[in-house]
């Protein structure tokens, strides 16, 4: 029987009232300094102890987000698509820390699908069978490549591609349209960014084929071939796909393309505002809250480092509410 | 034949109560779940969400009303009367509009109420507009009720 999300969505509708809007972020940006921003956030209902740093302020919000989601969607792996990124990040950290004999603890991320301690222990013992099935192959391959070539970038590519393949698989397996679109957009954008960076750093076809992840939204072989030739050829590859409207932004810079991707995702999220029964609004809330946390991180870091308002604003994206 | 006529009349009363009641139970239940979600975050909205929850309850009441009319016309309630097979079948047929229109309209009104509860959770000032949308579904339950009542009275006045 399909899971009923009526209660969870109704609760999320109330919770959305406490999300920061674009106007709230603008107000935050116009404040004098870091401390005034913290006071404003506190007035908006953000809880944090006195004299805590940015990472503590933000990690409390992340904790609260996942506590709420665990409460609303019990015994469900529907949100693995958003958490699995952290597992692959932890795998990357563990591989590099183990080969360099340093402690990975400070770099590990919480809110992952599998415990980070399990990943670290498996790599320390070189016992890949201790790892979850999906992480075994990328862990073996990344470890072997790092030990043989000492090429950190190659190690990152192996794990990043495995992460994208996993996200794509979770997306295609989902029965929710929004989650499927999210997976397509995530994988497609990652492929385009890899192609552009590959061209700028003059990577060969073999490297690009290894780095790009197969997806239905793009012709990956054509993209790899175009990435050897130039940006215009990459843009040509995007015509007729869901990324057609990103071409003018991609021609300017990767950061403009990233801004397009974030705003495109935001437009998909907006459609979830009038769906009362599916998991879509919960997924949109997770992404909306993550956007909010990213925006607040940008503003607080900017204020702390004395960056100008316009410079911070350039990097801000449209908010969910 | 008299007994069979009475059987079909009572079956009609049962249909009206049973199907319209099921629809209302589903609709009210769905809206109640959404209302509980909003109340968990904001208990001050109890009055507003309660109205939405009660909207799909009316179909059950309409079914009950038609059932009462049939039962009193055939003498199950009040003075005993003779009911022919044709009259029994006609009473049964009279109950069908409210039975089925009640069932489906209550379920869909419940869904519409859930959406309305979501609207009120975010924009309490839009209560008036949000309540009109599920109330529109009520139209079809009222039309069915009207036909069922007219039919029941019509059967009672026909000499067979």
How much is the pLDDT for A231? 93
A92 in the same domain as A14: no
Q: Does any domain span residue A178?
A: no
- The per-residue pLDDT of chain B, averaged, comes to 94
Q: Give the total number of structural domains in chain B.
A: 1
CB contact under 8 A, B37 and A6: yes
A109 in the same domain as A63: no
Question: Are residues A266 and A317 in contact, defined by beta-carbon separation less than 8 angstroms?
Answer: yes
A96 in the same domain as A169: yes
Task: For residue B108, give its domain range.
Answer: 2-157
Q: Does any domain span residue A203?
A: no
A103 in the same domain as A56: no
Residues 6 or more apart whose Cβ sits within 8 Å of residue A152: A96, A146
Instruction: Please report, to the nearest 10 degrees, the dihedral formed by the alpha carbons of residues A77, A82, A83, A87 taken in order.
Output: 120
Quote the percentage of chain B above a pLDDT of 70.
98
Pick from A173, A199, A231: which residue ends a domain? A173
Which CATH number covers residue A104?
A: 1.20.1690
A156 in the same domain as A113: yes
Whether the predicted pLDDT of B37 surpasses 90: yes
CB contact under 8 A, B111 and A9: no
A15 in the same domain as A71: yes
Looking at residue B104, the DSSP 8-state letter turns out to be H
A63 in the same domain as A110: no
Pick from A173, A205, A224: which residue ends a domain? A173
Which CATH number covers residue B100?
A: 1.20.120.610
Distance from CA of B121 to the nearest CA of A (A): 5
In this complex, how many residue pairs, one in chain A and one in chain B, have their CB atoms less than 8 Å apart? Answer: 55
How much is the pLDDT for A320? 87
Question: Residue B122 is nearest to which of A4, A7, A16, comparing CB atoms?
Answer: A16
pLDDT in tens, B98-147: 999 999 999 999 999 999 999 999 999 999 999 999 999 999 999 999 99
Choosing among B26, B29, B32, B41, which should be mutated to test the A contact, i.e. which has the most A CBs within 10 A?
A: B41
CA distance linking residue B121 with residue B115, whole number of Å: 10
Task: For residue A115, give its domain range.
Answer: 80-173
Distance from CA of B112 to the nearest CA of A (A): 9
How much is the pLDDT for B55? 97
Judged by a CB distance cut-off of 8 A, whether residue A315 touches chain B is: no
Pick from A124, A142, A173: which residue ends a domain? A173
Q: Does any domain span residue A125?
A: yes
Q: Give the total number of structural domains in chain A.
A: 2
pLDDT band at B153 (very low <50, low <70, confident <90, very high): very high
Q: Does any domain span residue A23?
A: yes
Which CATH number covers residue A301?
A: 1.10.132.50
In order of A176, B43, B56, B136, B137, the CA distances from B112 in angstroms are: 21, 21, 9, 10, 8
Q: Give the pair of three-digit tokens for residue A251.
A: 């021609």
In order of B72, B82, B150, B153, the CA distances from B79 in angstroms are: 8, 10, 21, 17
**Which chain B positions have a beta carbon within 8 Å of A8's beta carbon?**
37
Question: Are residues B62 and B146 in contact, defined by beta-carbon separation less than 8 angstroms?
Answer: no
Judged by a CB distance cut-off of 8 A, whether residue B159 touches chain A is: no
Would you write out chain A's pLDDT as a tens digit for each of its 321 residues?
568 899 999 999 999 999 999 999 999 999 988 999 999 999 998 988 888 889 999 999 999 999 999 999 876 688 999 999 999 999 999 999 999 889 998 899 999 999 999 999 999 999 999 999 999 999 999 999 999 988 888 899 999 999 999 999 999 999 899 999 999 999 999 999 999 999 999 988 888 888 999 999 999 999 999 999 999 999 999 988 999 999 999 999 999 999 999 999 999 999 988 888 999 999 999 999 999 999 999 999 999 999 988 899 888 888 988
């Amino acid at each position: 029987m399909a899971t009923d999300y009526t209660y969870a969505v109704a609760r999320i509708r109330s919770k959305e009232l406490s999300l920061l809007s674009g106007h709230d972020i603008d107000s935050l940006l116009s404040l004098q300094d870091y401390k005034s921003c913290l006071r404003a956030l506190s007035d908006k209902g953000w809880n944090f102890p006195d004299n805590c740093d940015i990472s503590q302020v933000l990690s409390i919000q992340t904790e609260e987000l996942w506590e709420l989601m665990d409460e609303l969607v019990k015994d469900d792996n529907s949100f693995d698509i958003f958490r699995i990124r952290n597992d692959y990040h932890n795998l990357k950290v563990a591989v590099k820390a183990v080969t360099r004999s340093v402690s990975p603890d400070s770099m590990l991320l919480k809110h992952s699908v599998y415990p980070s301690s399990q990943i670290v222990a498996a790599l320390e013992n070189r016992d890949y069978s201790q790892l979850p099935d999906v992480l075994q192959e990328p862990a073996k391959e990344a470890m072997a490549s790092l030990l043989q070539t000492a090429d950190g970038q190659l190690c990152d590519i192996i794990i990043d591609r495995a992460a994208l393949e996993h996200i794509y698989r979770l997306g295609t397996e989902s029965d929710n349209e929004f989650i499927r679109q999210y997976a397509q957009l995530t994988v497609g954008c990652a492929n385009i960014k890899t192609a552009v960076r590959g061209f700028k750093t003059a990577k060969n076809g073999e490297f690009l084929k290894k780095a790009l992840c197969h997806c239905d939204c793009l012709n990956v072989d054509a993209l790899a071939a175009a990435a050897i030739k130039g940006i215009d050829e990459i843009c040509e590859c995007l015509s007729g796909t869901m990324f057609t409207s990103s071409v003018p932004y991609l021609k300017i810079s990767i950061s403009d393309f990233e801004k397009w991707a974030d705003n495109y995702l935001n437009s998909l999220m907006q459609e979830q505002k009038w769906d009362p029964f599916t998991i879509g609004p919960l997924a949109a809330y997770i992404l909306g809250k993550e956007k909010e946390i990213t925006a607040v991180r940008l503003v607080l870091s900017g204020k702390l480092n004395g960056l100008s308002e316009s410079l911070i604003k350039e990097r801000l994206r449209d908010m969910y509410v | 034949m008299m007994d069979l006529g009475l059987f079909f009349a009572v079956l009609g009363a049962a249909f009206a109560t049973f199907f319209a009641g099921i629809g209302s139970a589903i609709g009210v239940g769905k809206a109640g779940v959404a209302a509980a979600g909003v109340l968990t975050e904001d208990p001050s909205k109890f009055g507003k969400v309660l109205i939405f929850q009660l909207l799909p309850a009316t179909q059950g009441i309409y079914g009950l009303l038609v059932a009462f009319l049939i039962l009193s016309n055939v003498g199950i309630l009040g003075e005993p009367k003779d009911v022919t097979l044709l009259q029994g079948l006609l009473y049964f047929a009279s109950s069908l509009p409210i039975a089925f229109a009640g069932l489906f309209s209550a379920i869909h009104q419940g869904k519409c109420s859930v959406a309305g509860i979501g609207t009120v959770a975010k924009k309490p000032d839009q209560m008036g507009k949000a309540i009109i949308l599920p109330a529109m579904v009520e139209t079809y339950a009222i039309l069915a009720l009207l036909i069922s009542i007219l039919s029941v009275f019509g059967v009672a006045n026909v000499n067979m």
